[in-house]
């Protein structure tokens, strides 16, 4: 895992910074995240018992750093 995991990350939805090791969120590429609120607002449903997303958030319209051009 890269050192960037331990740094603050910017939410691709709202632009707020959060800390992935401490704050829950949704990864949709190697370095692109949604904060918890944006993930839920975009339809994401997380099952804490199984520790996985039952319904992934809709990331359409967000920039994936691997593909900066839609």
Domain residue extents for the chain:
8-55
Decide if pLDDT at 59 tops 70.
yes
Distance CA 38, CA 4 (A): 21
> What DSSP state is assigned to residue 12?
T
Bridge partners, 10 (sequence order): 17
pLDDT band at 69 (very low <50, low <70, confident <90, very high): low
Quick one: 36 exposed, middle or buried, by C-beta within 10 A (0-12, 13-18, 19+)? middle
Task: Give the model confidence (pLDDT) of 6-54 as tens digits.
Answer: 578 889 999 999 887 788 899 888 778 899 999 999 999 999 999 999 9
> What DSSP state is assigned to residue 11?
B
Average pLDDT across the chain, whole number = 82
Cβ contacts of 1 within 8 Å, gap of 6 or more: none
pLDDT band at 1 (very low <50, low <70, confident <90, very high): very low
């Amino acid at each position: 895992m890269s050192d960037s995991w331990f740094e603050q990350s910017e939410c691709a939805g709202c632009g707020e910074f959060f800390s992935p090791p401490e704050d829950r969120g949704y990864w949709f590429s190697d370095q692109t995240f949604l904060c918890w609120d944006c993930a839920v607002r975009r339809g994401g449903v997380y099952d804490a018992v199984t520790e996985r997303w039952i319904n992934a958030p809709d990331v359409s319209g967000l920039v994936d750093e691997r593909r900066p051009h839609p």
